[in-house]
Amino acid sequence: MLWDARGEARRVPMTTLDALPYPIAIDTDISAALAQFVKSRGRRVVVLADRNVEGRAEALARAIGRKTPVLAVSLGERRKTLRTVEAVLNALAAAGADRETLVIGVGGGVAGDLFGFAAATYMRGVPFVNVATSLVAMVDASIGGKTGVDLGAGKNLAGAFRDPLAVFCDVGSLATLPEKHLREGLAELVKHGIIEGNEAFEALETLAPHPLRKWPWETVVADSLRIKAMFVAEDRLEAGAREILNLGHTVGHAIERVTNYRTSHGHAVSIGLRAAGLLALRTDRFSNEEHLRVLALLALLGLPLIAPTGDINALLAAMAHDKKARAGALRFVLPRTLGDVEYGVTVPARTVRAVLGRVRQAPGNAEFR
Ligand SMILES: NC(=O)c1ccc[n+]([C@@H]2O[C@H](COP(=O)([O-])OP(=O)(O)OC[C@H]3O[C@@H](n4cnc5c(N)ncnc54)[C@H](O)[C@@H]3O)[C@@H](O)[C@H]2O)c1
Ligand SMILES: [Zn+2]
């Protein structure tokens, strides 16, 4: 299924993708669509691959033909550094890549961010195609044009906004993605479900009791990605509405920082979604019933609801440090109802403190006081 820039999807109506300037393909096997796309470009091609999906990248290179070289790199969050970018740039030069060379990056979110950044800087920028092989990459990282790497001082601090030429979600490759990493993407699916509201949220409630490996991933990815794409299209440089996508992330990022990243991003966002629900409840935005539905869904998906730290001052300091905090005031993205989420909401400090204390405890009746 290939969506063009006018949103002409063959399987899913994609009117909201109209404003995204690049096509997105979502299929169990994207090799034919990728080969076709490359052919129509008529350029030299180099494939960059996360070593963990090297076999898949080799298969894609064979589908493209023309003796397309595959350069495999060991990645992982710890290698998402400028040093790895330098190694990739040198490898591109050694492979004879020039300004016209199309670079295809294959892998998860780390690969997309790092290879995308390398492509944005190689010879001041060469065309890049993102082949997403993890759930996080498919529903989140590959869309939106943010590329970059981590610095010692923090995550994603060096980078560039650069749209890919196209995005391919290689849904079949999820079969080899370890369950732990598949689960990482679930919190973002729930986040998108809360933003989109009823149908999207209910679809997740229906799927949640079923084993992850049996989910209809092609549809799930398409539906979830559409929600991110809609906000990105509206706000490409993250000046406003795109902040909605930060739902659950203000507290989530703080938990990641305070626990020194021992809490994974997906887990932190799950707890952050509970915190956002609590903040919304206590500022009379959200209903008990819907808050409980969100908690029940997160729990059913095996995601945590209890913060691993009760150090409220450290969490507040981390939130203030978050690049999304503007002019000192803590701003939150909070649900009013499933399908209606507000951004830029300021909440009284004592309410924030009370909620940070509450998420340290198991959910229960006190949730609604
Ligand atoms: N640019 C953005 O807007 C954006 C958005 C969200 C996340 N991110 C970034 O994405 C990264 C997280 O992404 P991630 O969870 O995909 O991490 P990841 O890329 O490290 O992938 C997780 C693990 O799965 C492996 N893997 C990936 N696909 C596989 C497959 N099909 N089969 C077997 N193994 C596979 C990887 O090698 C890695 O070990 C973070 O660095 C985060 O900052 C970026
Ligand atoms: Zn996230």
How many other β-carbons are positioned within 10 Å of the β-carbon of residue 137? 30
pTM of this structure? 0.93
Average pLDDT over residues 89-114: 97
Give the pLDDT mean for 225-253: 87
User: Taking the alpha carbons of 6, 189, 360, 285 in that order, is the dihedral positive or negative?
Assistant: positive
Active site positions, annotated? 124, 146, 188, 228, 238, 242, 246, 249, 253, 265
Q: What is the pLDDT of residue 368?
A: 74
| pLDDT tens-digit readout, 183-223 | 999 999 999 999 999 899 999 999 999 999 999 999 999 99
Report pLDDT digits (tens) over 253-276.
999 999 999 999 999 999 999 999
State if residue 134 touches ligand 1 by the CB under 6 angstroms criterion.
yes
Question: Domain limits of the chain?
Answer: 2-184, 186-215+223-368
CATH of region 186-215+223-368, choose from 1.20.1090.10, 3.30.465.10, 3.30.70.1230, 2.60.40.10: 1.20.1090.10
Using the structure block, give the residue that is written with the tokens 């915190």.
275
- Options 3.40.50.300, 3.30.450.70, 3.40.50.1970, 3.40.50.2300; CATH for 2-184 is 3.40.50.1970
**Is the CB–ligand 1 distance for residue 280 below 6 Å?**
no
3-state secondary structure 172-227: HHHHHCCHHHHHHCHHHHHHHHHHHCHHHHHHHHHHCCCCHHHCCHHHHHHHHHHH
| CA 174 to ligand 1: nearest atom | 31
pLDDT digits (tens, 9 = 90+) for 4-59: 444 443 333 333 355 578 999 999 999 999 999 999 888 899 999 999 999 999 99
Owner of token pair 């960059």 = 48
Q: Which of 50-64, 71-85, 354-368 bottoms out in mean pLDDT, i.e. has the lowest?
A: 354-368
* Run of H or E including 345: strand 340-346
Closest atom, ligand 1, to C-alpha of 143: 3
If you measure from the C-alpha of residue 184 to the centroid of ligand 1, how many angstroms do you get, rounded to a whole number? 9
Ligand with an atom nearest the CA of residue 172: 1
Under 8 Å between Cβ of 88 and 114 = yes
Cα of 142 from ligand 2 centre, angstroms: 12
Nearest CA to ligand 1 atom 10: 109
pLDDT at residue 326, as a whole number: 56
Establish whether domains 2-184 and 186-215+223-368 are of one fold.
Answer: no
pLDDT score of 323:
55
